[in-house]
Amino acid sequence: MNKFHQPAGLGRDENAIEWAARKLYTLLGFGALPLLIGHLLWRGFRQPAYRQHWAERFLGLARASELPVGVAFGEVPNRQVLWIHAVSVGETRAAMPLVIRWLEKGENFRVVLTHTTPTGRETGADIFSRWRSSNSAGRDPLIQRYLPYDFPWANSAFLSWASPTLGVLMETELWPNLLAQAQRRDIAVVLINARLSPRSARRLSQFSWLARPAVARLTGIAAQTESDAQGFLRMGDSTPRVEVVGNMKFDVEIPKESAHLGERWRTVFPGRRIWLAASTRDDEEAEILGAWKRARSGQQIESRDLLVIVPRHPQRFERVARLISDAGLISLRRQALDTITQDRSTNAIEVLLGDSLGDMFAYLCFSDLVLMGGSIPALGGQNPIEACAVGRPVFFGPNMFNFQQIARLLRESGAGCEVSNYGEWITRGIVLLGDSQALEQRSQASREFARHHRGATSRTDEFLTTILRAGH
């Protein structure tokens, strides 16, 4: 494939059809406003952060104390404002090296970082706290916002306020009205870390009347794999320039404080074998706990085995705590780890509930092996790259369709193992934990797998720089 594929553009008839399709899309969205508001209110009961910043979500408005980014930044020659949209936690962590590279270029560079979920916003606030420390309102090098819902008025207000030099969307975020408004303002927007799972490809095909013009408005696509790139190119001659750069999530850095925290937890549970079920979803915890109890009854699981469950969504923490209680297992919650020390009482703990945000690397460093949540039920799985970076043997189910290529590469490299159910995870895990040499080989394979695929952030940065130099 050529490094860049120049778009042919939409014809006059196609533009007319796209305009009508987008109007219909907007009308349907406007009609769904009561459902959207109800959804936020319902989520807000379980996660209060959903009840905040509605002016940003629905109107694209800044806070009263915030000047437009361009005004707050001042009339500085060659100023550059990068707007990057990172939906939730995974995308925010993946964007971290790129954002830091941009900010470290100098005082003429700023970032507007947008999110969709409160957990993504909280993660960003934690990761980039040192870039948000100035005393002047609106003058920090990095500003966080919610990306407004895809209504023309909200997108117009947001883009007028942000005034980005370049817009960056991550993975599969294609919003027709947003891209139309950006094009109207001559703002280049690119899709980075772009991927097309079979499910996403089917969805885009079903809504090609909206998806194809949206893709055509992108200035470029930095795809994770050749397969992803070909999927976008199959959308037609109007597809913009495409380049395969790899997956930025491989460039994640292990925070030193997380590694130290995981090591400290080890001192609380000396001699224990730590089994981590990471990013669990949709009550799959009940089945994990059931399999754990059956293995214990069959004397497969020993008293030194400790199960750690980390739910993906914080609004489910209490629900999972009840599931553990109903299973009749002795448990401990994350908050207690801040003050607890090793004593006889910790020897009796059977399950640790990881009910905290921002601690995933600590849980990984604490563990001996990892099961990726959402991969045994048909939920698409979760990103196993962080577990590999820490050097943990990774287990996953047959439904990793959101990470299909990574799952295949994990199997081929020996860094990962596919299991069909939770009982098989326990059976295979016991065999692995009982063979120190095999455990070390699997751990080394995981580290090598993560190391081998690094470098996408540098290639993505070069991709963006090329677009900026070309004047898009």
| CB neighbour list of residue 71: distance below 8 Å, 6 or more residues apart | none
| CB neighbour list of residue 295: distance below 8 Å, 6 or more residues apart | 301, 423, 426, 427, 430
List b or e across 16-54, with b for residues whose CB sees 16 or more CB atoms inside 10 angstroms. eebeebbeebbeebeeeeeeeeeeeeebeeeeeebeebe
Q: Are 308 and 324 in contact (CB under 8 A)?
A: no
The backbone torsions φ and ψ at residue 93, rounded to the nearest 5 degrees and listed phi first, read: -65, -40
Q: Quote the CA–CA distance of 230 and 244 in Å, as a whole number.
A: 10
Q: Quote the CA–CA distance of 5 and 9 in Å, as a whole number.
A: 12
Spatial CA neighbour of 459 closest among 78, 101, 84 = 101
Reduced to 3 states (helix: H, G, I; strand: E, B; else coil), residue 254 is coil
| CB neighbour list of residue 438: distance below 8 Å, 6 or more residues apart | 431, 432
- The angle, 0 to 180 degrees and rounded to 10, between the axes of the packed helices 176-184 and 152-162 is 50
Q: Quote the CA–CA distance of 191 and 149 in Å, as a whole number.
A: 18
Residues with catalytic function: 91
Q: Quote the CA–CA distance of 252 and 383 in Å, as a whole number.
A: 12
Spatial CA neighbour of 332 closest among 452, 343, 396 = 343
Q: Are 345 and 299 in contact (CB under 8 A)?
A: no
Which residue, chain included where needed, has tokens 């030193």?
A: 256
Q: Quote the CA–CA distance of 111 and 28 in Å, as a whole number.
A: 32
Pairing of strands 351-353, 369-372: unpaired
Structure-block tokens of residue 380: 């698409």
What is the 3 state secondary structure string of 172-220?
CCCCHHHHHHHHHCCCEEEEEEECCCHHHHHHHHHCHHHHHHHHHCCCE
What are the beta bridge partners of residue 172? none
Q: What is the DSSP letter of 42?
A: H
The HSE-up count of residue 199 (CA atoms within 13 Å, CB side) is: 11
Structure-block tokens of residue 113: 């970082």
CB atoms within 10 A of CB 465: 11
